[in-house]
Structure 1
Amino acid sequence: MLSDGLKSTSFFVREMALKVEQQQVSLVIGIPCEDEATEKRLGLTPETVALLVEAGYRVLLETGAGAGIQYSDAYYAESGAEIVETHQEVFQADLILKIASPTLEEVEMMRPRTTVFSFLQIHKLSSAILALMSEKRINALAYELLNDHTGMSPFVTAISEIEGASSITLAAELLSNAHGGKGILLGGIPGVSPTEVVIVGAGVAGTMAAKAALALGALVKVFDNDISKLRTIRHELGYMVYTSTLQPNVLRNVFRSADVVIGSMQYVNKTHFYRISSDLVREMKNGSLIIDLRMAQGGCFETTMEACLPGYPPIFEKFGVLHFCELSLSSRVARTASIALSNIFISLFSSMTDSGGLEYLARFNRGFASGFYMYCGKMVNSYVGNHFNYPVHNIGLFLPGC
């Protein structure tokens, strides 16, 4: 949930219909097709579209946008979406709901003062994109920057849960002979030593990965420099999981025996970055596996950073270690991920309706306001601004009006 006011919000259609009569929402939401080669997730399912349309929103959907999650244009149309033929038509909406960061071509299609939601894939942004956003006075929000009443991003939490659990099923698949792995079972059986899984990062994704690996009988070791997170994971999962801070000598010894290493450290809005050096990767056994869950943030390992570049293969071998570096693991289970995102969006848009619009919600909900990195064309987030050497402004100076 995004504010205390949402606690009383009901999602029953009858209750929402009553609110529509009071709010008279007229905002147009545009949902474009994503690059199907790298992104199959979508922000809204047909069920959520039906609720938003009933609440007074208009929803424009580019034809074929739901194909990646196995929803047809007809189903969206029956739910109240207006199906449009071109990218250009979708980008005439007031609010663009994307998954991947907007490209330069997409920003060129936007009308001035459009609002665009997306994940913050910072290596896909550029100074040219930000300059055009500034010229058009675009509002740009990133799901990773937006916070709820707990101080965490509900979008990051949902996707991290999915990717943490998925990373273990993926590891089991890649370790098998069928995919060129060592031919070992992830976990353990009587008389055979258990697989050793090392997780760097004790956040939501790391916790879910550890839980799934333990359930299969693997030996799990979790590393993080946040003692509070290590304490939480120990309390949640018990003494079966080994925890440690990022001590170089300890990491070196663990990497030598690991069968799987999962990188799940968070970098967004952080002042200190920890990346695993290539020297440690060299220490790993031949045929072992690295899964990097933070490719959208630049990668957790020195050996995976290059995979952020366009055209670089998402699966490759280096130093005898197989690296899995797809931009988003949750895109492999796109329908589940889209439903999870859609559940959050219905609360977000309900809150926006109750507040009287996006600007009013940003003015009175600081967690939502923190989601902007561009507001009316001004850079308002230091993490993004420092990355591109942009002057950063306090969003509070612009919220009353611009």
Structure 2
Amino acid sequence: MTEQDTNNTVELEPQPKTIIQENAHKSMTIGLVGNYADTDETRFLLTPEGSGLLTSSDIRILMEKGAATDISFPDSAYREFGVEIVSREEALQADIVLSYQPLHTKDVKKMKKGATLLTMMGSALFEAPVIKALLERHITTGCLDQMLSYNDEPVFANVIDEIDGRGAIIYAQEFLSYVGGGKGVLLAGVAGINPCEILIIGDGNIAYAAAKAAMAAGAYVTLMNNDISALQVAKECCGDMLNTIAIHPKVLYNKVKSADVILIGQCTRPFEFPKNLSVALKDSVYVLNFDETHPSISVPRTVAMALSNILVNFFGDALIKGGFENMIATTPGVQCGIITYHGKLVDKLVASCINMTSVDIKVMIAATN
């Protein structure tokens, strides 16, 4: 081979690499909108630093003016990281709209036809008018907390559960304190005094996080569930300091009677806290039901920081795969969180609740390939 041929070969080799990079890093526009003022929702999806990591990856971010007020970040903090501050209407015109709360019908109608809405699962998605508006606009709706990571973990949901569980212990300590209107006691014991008793009924990350936080605070913690294998997992996860007990009527009555704090979540098998046990409660007991109360709304900046870390990787994967549409087509875990897709309702649970017909998203994706 001559020297001239060698030079020509060297010049040609980098060209295919350049083409691959251009295809893999297509620009996208994200619209970031705030929570509705008439709700108590405070949680937000992106911090300024998280937004900066996305804008540095050739992603354009349009944020509604004042959207991050709940997490105590001014618009200027986002502007420093390349975020454009616009009206809510302009943010809703982005290719991908990010909103912690599902959008109301009036906002869905302002979205660009064929755009994508990424949100957390909420009651609005079980309302027929909202779903019909999403279908009419051919909006692809994805619930982040329903999606699974590459190792089949609901990473978004896990983060919220952990913050809710730990936050519940903060709520409990505040309630028991004099400042919070309680009798003025610590969760932890001191020399000569027993610690407070915390009873957790449930399973999963939210129960484990609450148990760990309570034990770290020095409380005496009991976890009750109606599945022995789940209790074994809880013991392995939380350590030997955690007391695990199967739910039996007499045992449950005795634990409820002595508990200073009761946290109620979802058990492995169907379970409803007996109403007649209310007579056994202490006058000063603090009771929190995780189905009704989300302590993470009191620490929204922590939520935003945690979710930003996940979203940076999430959108990084989307860029590598050529966009969010390609990500849906090639990622089964993402498909688990899709509610509406190309004008069709693809979530069976939502469909059954509003008496509509659902379509299998896998069939739709296969038909387009």
* CA contact 1:25–1:55 (8 Å) conserved in 2: no
How far did residue 389 of structure 1 move? 2.8
Instruction: Give the structure 1 partner of residue 142 of structure 2.
Output: 141
How far did residue 355 of structure 1 move? 0.9
In 2 relative to 1, CA 374–291 (structure 1 residues): closer, same or farther, beyond 3 Å? Answer: same
Instruction: Give the structure 1 partner of residue 51 of structure 2.
Output: 49
In 2 relative to 1, CA 62–182 (structure 1 residues): closer, same or farther, beyond 3 Å? Answer: same
Instruction: Give the structure 1 partner of residue 13 of structure 2.
Output: none
1:223 & 1:123 partners in 2: Cα distance? Answer: 32
2:352 & 2:248 partners in 1: Cα distance? Answer: 29
Instruction: Give the structure 1 partner of residue 297 of structure 2.
Output: 331
- 5+ long unaligned stretches in structure 2: 1-18
1:20 & 1:331 partners in 2: Cα distance? Answer: 40
* CA contact 1:20–1:56 (8 Å) conserved in 2: no
Instruction: Give the structure 2 partner of residue 367 of structure 1.
Output: 333
1:42 & 1:20 partners in 2: Cα distance? Answer: 32
Equivalent residue letter for 1:92: Q
User: SS of the residue aligned with 2:192?
Assistant: coil
Equivalent residue letter for 1:389: N
Q: Deviations over 1:178-218 (max 9, x none)?
A: 12223222121232232111112221121111111112221
How far did residue 351 of structure 1 move? 0.6
In the TM superposition, 1:57-136 aligns within 5 A as 57-84=59-86, 86-122=87-123, 125-136=126-137
Q: Deviations over 1:343-402 (max 9, x none)?
A: 000111011111111121111110111111222232222232222233222111222549
How far did residue 282 of structure 1 move? 4.0
Instruction: Give the structure 2 partner of residue 212 of structure 1.
Output: 213
How far did residue 226 of structure 1 move? 4.1
Instruction: Give the structure 1 partner of residue 178 of structure 2.
Output: 177
Instruction: Give the structure 1 partner of residue 199 of structure 2.
Output: 198
Q: CA RMSD in A?
A: 2.4
In the TM superposition, 1:305-324 aligns within 5 A as none
Q: Deviations over 1:205-242 (max 9, x none)?
A: 21111111112221111122343432122123333222
User: SS of the residue aligned with 2:151?
Assistant: coil
Instruction: Give the structure 2 partner of residue 289 of structure 1.
Output: 286
1:248 & 1:138 partners in 2: Cα distance? Answer: 49
Structure with the greater alpha carbon radius of gyration: 2
Which one of 334, 358, 363 corresponds to residue 392 of structure 1?
Answer: 358
2:96 & 2:289 partners in 1: Cα distance? Answer: 32
Q: Deviations over 1:156-190 (max 9, x none)?
A: 11111212112112210111121222322212123
How far did residue 245 of structure 1 move? 3.3
Instruction: State the number of aligned residues.
Output: 350
* CA contact 1:359–1:399 (8 Å) conserved in 2: no
In 2 relative to 1, CA 282–352 (structure 1 residues): closer, same or farther, beyond 3 Å? Answer: farther
Identity percentage over the alignment? 31
In the TM superposition, 1:238-253 aligns within 5 A as 238-253=239-254
* CA contact 2:46–2:308 (8 Å) conserved in 1: yes
Q: TM-score, normalization: structure 1?
A: 0.81
Which one of 353, 366, 375 corresponds to residue 319 of structure 2?
Answer: 353
Instruction: Give the structure 2 partner of residue 26 of structure 1.
Output: 27
Equivalent residue letter for 1:351: D
2:284 & 2:365 partners in 1: Cα distance? Answer: 54
Q: TM-score, normalization: structure 2?
A: 0.87
User: SS of the residue aligned with 1:338?
Assistant: helix
Higher mean alpha-carbon deviation, 278-287 vs 93-102, is at 278-287
In the TM superposition, 1:151-190 aligns within 5 A as 151-190=152-191
In 2 relative to 1, CA 292–77 (structure 1 residues): closer, same or farther, beyond 3 Å? Answer: same
1:75 & 1:233 partners in 2: Cα distance? Answer: 41
User: SS of the residue aligned with 2:299?
Assistant: helix
How far did residue 21 of structure 1 move? 4.5
How far did residue 152 of structure 1 move? 2.2
* CA contact 1:19–1:55 (8 Å) conserved in 2: no
1:55 & 1:26 partners in 2: Cα distance? Answer: 8
1:182 & 1:121 partners in 2: Cα distance? Answer: 36
Higher mean alpha-carbon deviation, 343-352 vs 356-365, is at 356-365
1:19 & 1:252 partners in 2: Cα distance? Answer: 65
2:342 & 2:249 partners in 1: Cα distance? Answer: 45
User: SS of the residue aligned with 2:63?
Assistant: strand
Higher mean alpha-carbon deviation, 99-108 vs 115-124, is at 115-124
User: SS of the residue aligned with 1:75?
Assistant: helix
* CA contact 1:200–1:265 (8 Å) conserved in 2: yes
* CA contact 2:23–2:322 (8 Å) conserved in 1: no
Q: Deviations over 1:113-149 (max 9, x none)?
A: 2211111123674111112112222211112210113
Equivalent residue letter for 2:254: N
How far did residue 24 of structure 1 move? 4.1
2:272 & 2:340 partners in 1: Cα distance? Answer: 28
In 2 relative to 1, CA 102–198 (structure 1 residues): closer, same or farther, beyond 3 Å? Answer: same
